[in-house]
Amino acid sequence: MSCIPLPEPEGVNGLANKIGKKGSRAPKIRNARNVRKRPVRGGRKTFGKEVENPRPPLDPWSAPYVSVIIPVMNERKTLRKVIQEAFRVHPHTEVIVVVNGSTDGSLEIARRSGAKVLVYDRPLGHDIGRSIGAREAIGNILLFIDADMVIPAGKLRAFVDAVAQGTDVALNDYSGPVNKPVVHGVVLAKHALNSLLGRSDLQGASMTAIPHAISRNALSVIGASSLSVPPLAHTVAIHEGLKVKRIIPVNVGMLNPIRAKRERTNSLEPLIVGDHLEAIQWWIRKSDSRGGYEDGARQRWMVR
């Protein structure tokens, strides 16, 4: 399985160097527990060549039990409420906000919230924030949500509880609208992939949709990089025998704001369908040219 290299964040709120005007950074923090070297990129000057690892010490009495990961790009209107609900999921929760390419004040809201904030001045692309947040998370359970959908903590807690009780990947029991004359390509792709994987019981549930939660063990099996392509992560989880289940329905189709302009000029449908094709290709490489399905009694050699 190929790995996707992940970029380094420019800063972590309150823990690593904060970004100021013109990309300037505060001096490095001394007495760091773990320090990792970072190359200077693009000719931009820094005040130090080392940046403190933002991860707090793994003290069993203080380490978070749940890590909630929230990628953000220009979600000022909903971000504060989304973070508030995230902190209510469990008494020992860390909230990791991956702010990328935001210009609407989302960064300031995130920094005031008490969350751990990873900052990128450019957009990272679809779902890359999930991988980056997962790489920095230290909780036993990782919960993934989006910054543009306010979901009550009570519903989010159901996914955390499912993982706490032994599920490796707890999925939103949402299959998308199927009783329509024309079904959306992403909905079809989710159903088709689950059928190919021998998990028709999942219907259209997928790691593409939030909210979903995974165990620390699932993260180690799937790998943080694969989370950038959710159908691939989903496929790896099933291939490796992890316990993948639908939990409760959260109708993200109703919650997701309509972005008519984006859909006209830069629809996500081709990208997400392509993600599913990538997952299918990975599955075939791990089995055979037919994905493990029999060819019946065909005598193909007769017509070659």
pLDDT tens-place string over residues 198-226? 999 999 999 999 999 999 999 999 999 99
CA gap 265, 124 in Å, rounded: 19
pLDDT value of residue 279: 98
pLDDT value of residue 13: 43
Is residue 18's pLDDT more than 50? Answer: no
Mean pLDDT of the region 114-134: 96
Do the Cβ atoms of 72 and 98 come closer than 8 Å? yes
Residue 297 lies in a domain: no
pLDDT value of residue 59: 52
Residue 46 lies in a domain: no
Residue 242 lies in a domain: yes
pLDDT value of residue 60: 52
CA-based nearest residue to 54, from 123, 135, 129: 135
pLDDT value of residue 229: 98
Mean pLDDT of the region 20-44: 35
pLDDT tens-place string over residues 262-287? 455 668 899 999 999 999 999 999 99
Range of the domain at 187: 66-252+269-287
Residue 132 lies in a domain: yes
pLDDT tens-place string over residues 46-71? 333 233 334 444 455 568 999 999 99
SS3 letters across the chain: CCCCCCCCCCCECCCCCCECHHHCECCCCCCCCCEEECCCCCCCCCCCCEEECCCCCCCCCCCCCEEEEEEECCCHHHHHHHHHHHHCCCCCEEEEEEEECCCCCHHHHHHHCCCEEEEECCCCCCCHHHHHHHHHCCCCEEEECCCCCCCCHHHHHHHHHHHHCCCCEEECCCCCCCCCCCCCHHHHHHHHHHHHCCCHHHCCCCCCCCCEEEEHHHHHHHCHHHHHCHHHHHHHHHHCCCCEEECCCCCHHHHCCCCHHHHHHHCCHHHHHHHHHHHHHHHHHHCCCCCCCCCCCCCHHHHC
Instruction: Give the chain's mean pLDDT.
Output: 83
Higher local confidence (pLDDT), 222 or 27: 222
Residue that the structure tokens 């702010």 belong to: 99
pLDDT value of residue 129: 97
Residue 78 lies in a domain: yes
Residue 163 lies in a domain: yes
Mean pLDDT of the region 232-238: 98
CA gap 296, 225 in Å, rounded: 37
Residue 12 lies in a domain: no
Q: Could you give the number of structural domains in the chain?
A: 1
Is residue 34's pLDDT more than 70? Answer: no
Give the CATH number of the domain where residue 169 resides: 3.90.550.10
CA gap 90, 224 in Å, rounded: 23
pLDDT value of residue 43: 36
Residue 232 lies in a domain: yes
Mean pLDDT of the region 222-235: 98
pLDDT value of residue 3: 54
